[in-house]
Structure 1
Amino acid sequence: GGIRTGGDIAKAVACGADAVMVGAPLAAASDAPGGGWHWGLNGGHADLPRADRVRVEPVGTLEEVLVGPSHRSDGRTNLAGGLRRAMASCGYPTLKELQKAELTVTPVDR
């Protein structure tokens, strides 16, 4: 789980999200105030009420993480561009229209 790429943001919006929490991608900015640390996803730690602290490798400046340009192929930079590309690929020109997307949920074969 967790939001890591612009495509993940697009999936959340397509499921109806009005907002998306992007902790790890922002923590991975070289100029982030947390210095590459963020709180993990689960809250099961006795001393750290929000979860374990997780170290992430820097992937670029905050501007590169949010709007590019991207020098990586893993989708961890240019989140806005990844969201726009996912929307265009699916034929949705606006976020409001993407929120109304028809979804098909299929079981995962294991």
Structure 2
Amino acid sequence: MNRDAFRRGAAAALIALILLTLAWELWLAPLRPGGSFLAFKALLLLLPLRGILVGRLYTYQWSSMFILAFFSEGVMRGWADSGLARQIALGEILLSTLFFICVLGFARSFKRRV
């Protein structure tokens, strides 16, 4: 895959994760009826969005570690929750893994060939 494909994949996964997080915590399966303050975690996902969209290598590097918090949350809630919340947690795991793979592919494309 080329660098641009990894950039587009990372951007799509990040945007999908933002939308999933908002839908999860506000409408689909919030911790409290009517929505939860956990929806604010979507704001954290906005931090790397601009750098991901424009292809800043530094943003890709730090966001590879940043996304692991969302992966961990998906694992814990997938294990602890049931029903729709568990399914959404599995979606969070999938999207954060896809983002991580695309970020690594993008960053690796800058590595020199020896």
Range class of TM-score, shorter chain: under 0.3
> TM-score if structure 1 supplies the norm length?
0.27
> TM-score if structure 2 supplies the norm length?
0.26
- Answer 1 or 2: which has greater helix percent: 2
